[in-house]
Chains A and B, each alone.
Chain A
């Protein structure tokens, strides 16, 4: 029956860490960490550029949108400015025309003035009354809703300004009548040589209507302020009354301007403004166009929304792929490591057996020789009994039997050594002197060294302490290295082993041979599993790899230096206490 995999298993690896005893064979100890690193690095690699592109795109769109808003605000403000300016200029021109074309005498008469007001209302609209004021400030004629004839304006600021500059446009104020209005006035000379002023009151409704006609969006707010920042026409942002705007009054400029601002409440706007001129006459008005940073509903907004949608979908797809691929990779890596670990463990076991076998083969010669002696001694005694002319005397027989016993003792010694040695492979952590182990190992190479005339030198510093380690693994490291050295050396070679304490917590052992050496290009590979320079049937390529693995298990380090034709030196560093080392 096929086991159905849950959806979650595609996103989370099946195994996080190997069993304790197998950990040393695996590439990583904690695959969860590797998985997380893989996910984060892959996600960052994909998402960072995508985010940068998206943010950059959004900024470009925002900038383009702002430029568009600013340009639009400038256009609207400029158009509205012309209209408002023309509105005021037309009415000022009408007043100038009247004072130039109509005699002062006629103007001083209410009936004449009324006709003029009618004509102005029909022609221009928005003018609610007309008055003629003498140089002393007395209103000599007035037509309109209020009874203002005879009122004296001598002390009114507008009167003084008009007398001084010849014309005057007031800002919006309520004055005596309590209704918002604007005063337009022009100064003229009567035939008697006295000055007089023709004053018109402008209803603000028409002006407001003119301004509002340019307000084409819910997010735009067009209104007038005076030079003190007091609102003159209703503002959707700041109200209808005579409040002050919540931003600084823009500096005077003859041109229209637009830019981004934040008001005192922190709200962002695009501000377009223009100082209003009525023809050549300065007015107290500044046209303000405030645009909120609201969605423009344009192609820019759509582009932004589309880009964000693509971004979110991409992030989702990338994360999905990153999770799937990382989990798949970690699962595969774990599986591959697991196979490698089991292979290495099996190879290590085989190597142990092989090293015992190798030693056994080495000692076979030593056993066969005493066996051959026993064989010949026993045979000779048989010969004496069966072929001799007389029975052999006891002394002669005793000599041969003693020789047999000596030979048996020789065999026994050798087999005991071999058994003791083989048992060490099962020994776990214990206390021992490293020199003793090396001495035991060298016993098995002694005869071969003699036969091949190889000089063995062991130099142990008297300060070398007892160590606490895995004796079996320690022993196997030296079996492998000395075996390797013997294979690398020709007859009459030299093998030096030096041992000394290193730092307070370590022991250093160097194994130096005068073998063929290792070429530089192979030096970095000699600890790789299955790397061998020997023939197909001469070496497994596992010896040094297993030695490397053993050194890791012993929490030691192994380093190699070699020169072709001169020899190889292995430097091994062991902790004094493998358990203390592991705790630290």
Chain B
């Protein structure tokens, strides 16, 4: 019964060790995490669970992060997508915010800040994008 209340989080990042550890730490904090290492797999995972939030890297093999974001917003416009990238410059931030990303975070990220962001998103009925870059 408890698992029904746990929110699903989809992590799309080609840095396998990072994605795995993030998934483990979020799981300890009550989230159900799915991890994929490229954009195509992420898009395939979307219909499988009612994800509350997607954590997306930008530099991915195959489809780029921007392309994945665009496709997610076409398929599930209300699904919040948090961009988490190792090298997020202002130009990329503007592109992603233009594609309706919820937030734009740089690696390495403070997990507590990330969890707070999740709670804000999941606790809020609205999924309006957060303006500005949240620095880790």
List chain A residues, Cβ under 8 A from B24. Answer: 380, 383
Would you call A376 and B61 a contact (CB within 8 A)? no
List chain B residues, Cβ under 8 A from A376. Answer: 17-18, 21-22, 25, 108, 111
Would you call A369 and B15 a contact (CB within 8 A)? yes
Bitwise, B1-36 to A at CB < 8 A (1) or not (0) is 000000000000001011001101100100000000
A377 at interface, CB cutoff 8 A = yes
Would you call A369 and B18 a contact (CB within 8 A)? yes
List chain B residues, Cβ under 8 A from A380. Answer: 21, 24-25
B64 at interface, CB cutoff 8 A = yes
A-contacting residues, B20-72, CB 8 Å: 21-22, 24-25, 28, 59, 61, 64
Would you call B18 and A373 a contact (CB within 8 A)? yes
- Residue pairs across A and B with CB atoms within 8 Å: the count is 63
Among A15-23, A108-116, A358-366, the one that faces the other chain is A358-366
Would you call A372 and B108 a contact (CB within 8 A)? yes
B residues contacting the other copy or chain, number (CB 8 A): 20
A190 to B21, CA, bound (A): 169
Would you call B87 and A361 a contact (CB within 8 A)? yes
List chain B residues, Cβ under 8 A from A407. Answer: 17
Candidates A367, A368, A379, A403; contact of B111 at CB < 8 Å = A379
Bitwise, A345-365 to B at CB < 8 A (1) or not (0) is 000000000000000011011
B94 → A minimal CB distance (Å): 14
A380 to B25, CA, bound (A): 6
A387 at interface, CB cutoff 8 A = yes
Candidates B17, B28, B59; contact of A365 at CB < 8 Å = B59
A374 at interface, CB cutoff 8 A = yes
- Nearest A residue (CB) for B106: A368
A-contacting residues, B91-131, CB 8 Å: 106-109, 111
B130 → A minimal CB distance (Å): 21
- Nearest A residue (CB) for B16: A373
A29 to B25, CA, bound (A): 68
From DSSP, what is the main secondary structure of chain A's interface residues? helix
Would you call B109 and A375 a contact (CB within 8 A)? yes
Bitwise, A383-421 to B at CB < 8 A (1) or not (0) is 100010000000000000001000100000000000000
A560 → B minimal CB distance (Å): 28
A380 to B21, CA, bound (A): 7
B132 at interface, CB cutoff 8 A = no
Would you call A365 and B108 a contact (CB within 8 A)? no
B86 at interface, CB cutoff 8 A = yes
A371 at interface, CB cutoff 8 A = yes
Would you call B89 and A369 a contact (CB within 8 A)? no
Given A372-B107, A376-B22, A377-B21, answer yes or no on A361-B15 (Cβ-Cβ < 8 Å): no
Would you call B87 and A374 a contact (CB within 8 A)? no
B13 → A minimal CB distance (Å): 9
Would you call B86 and A369 a contact (CB within 8 A)? yes
B106 → A minimal CB distance (Å): 7
Candidates A362, A373, A450; contact of B21 at CB < 8 Å = A373
Would you call A403 and B17 a contact (CB within 8 A)? yes
Would you call A373 and B28 a contact (CB within 8 A)? no
Would you call A368 and B107 a contact (CB within 8 A)? yes
